[in-house]
Amino acid sequence: MSTPSDDNDKLISFIAATVETMRDQMATKDDLKQLEARFEVKLKAEITAVRGDIEQVHIRLDNIERTLSTRLN
């Protein structure tokens, strides 16, 4: 039979191990800054790509409009 002191020691050991595991898995401020910087670069690239796509669509629509206007007039 275990004593209350043994149970307390086991519980404290379990809690300490759990806290250490959580600490090892947590991101540091530097990790978060690097992740944010990478995200910002990727987001800017994606926005630029979308803007390029929109510009291409706009150019195509202008060409279609000119072609239709020429044919209808």
What is the share, in percent, of the chain residues with pLDDT greater than 70? 97
Q: From CA 67, how far away is CA 56, in angstroms rounded?
A: 17
- pLDDT score at 1: 63
35's CB contacts (< 8 A; 6+ apart) are 27
pTM above 0.85, yes or no: no
Coil, helix or strand at residue 13: helix
If you average pLDDT over every residue of the chain, what do you get? 94
DSSP state of 26: S
The answer to whether the CB of 35 falls within 8 A of the CB of 27 is yes
Which of the two residues, 30 and 4, has the higher pLDDT score? 30
In the block, tokens 């910002």 appear at 40
Least confident of 3-7, 13-17, 64-68: 3-7
What is the share, in percent, of the chain residues with pLDDT greater than 90? 88
